[in-house]
Structure 1
């Protein structure tokens, strides 16, 4: 049936998502009303660059494997770190 996904520390996913959030913050600040920027760069490029589905798949795998500490740390770094870096990008 379903193959169990065993998760080590997903550093690559974390790095990609955090840098994508930072770049998104910069784009929102620099080009807030440009339709091209919103559709091409923010939705298209950064939406393809980042991976929200992989993040959640890894979190579910950590939950299924009872890796509670990793689950909390990875979830917190991903969500709060992403919001913080998006805000930081908007400040530049």
Structure 2
């Protein structure tokens, strides 16, 4: 199968999954849906890499699915909105949770993937 099609199918699945998470997550001051997909995505990508997945499965899962499931641009827009609304404490919690949590999630995915 063509690599572009494989990435597109993975991207569609990731985007639909992200949309679903945004619909089911409760609305709070923190952008919990974006935080959730980014932390989960960091974990899953760490796991995918640790498994040594390559070829078409990597294109589908890592490039396509994870590329559309997680989002750096939405993270930054949410952060700017919090700062513009003078919500500096939630903004700090959000950015620290995202980056520190993302590193921990990626490391956990790599670690667990290596155990399996």
Smaller-chain TM-score range?
0.7 to 0.9
Q: Which runs of 4+ in 1 moved over 4 A?
A: none
1:57 to 57, 73, 77: 77
Please list every run of 5 or more consecutive structure 2 residues that lacks an aligned counterpart in the other structure: 1-27
CA RMSD of aligned residues (A): 1.5
Q: Is the 8 A contact 1:25 1:87 kept in 2?
A: yes
Q: CA deviation at 1:8?
A: 2.5
How far apart, in 1, do the equivalents of 2:72 and 2:101 lie? 14
Equivalent residue in structure 1 for 2:50, among 29, 47, 55: 29
- Provide the TM-score with structure 1 as the length reference: 0.83
Contiguous gaps of at least 5 residues in structure 1: 1-6
Partner of 2:92 in structure 1?
A: 72
Structure showing the higher helix proportion among its residues: 2
After superposition, the C-alpha distances for 1:43-76 in whole angstroms (9 at most, x for unaligned) are 1111111121111100011111111101110000
- Using the size of structure 2 for normalisation, the TM-score is 0.67
- Kindly state the Cα deviation for residue 10 of structure 1 after the two structures are TM-superposed: 0.9
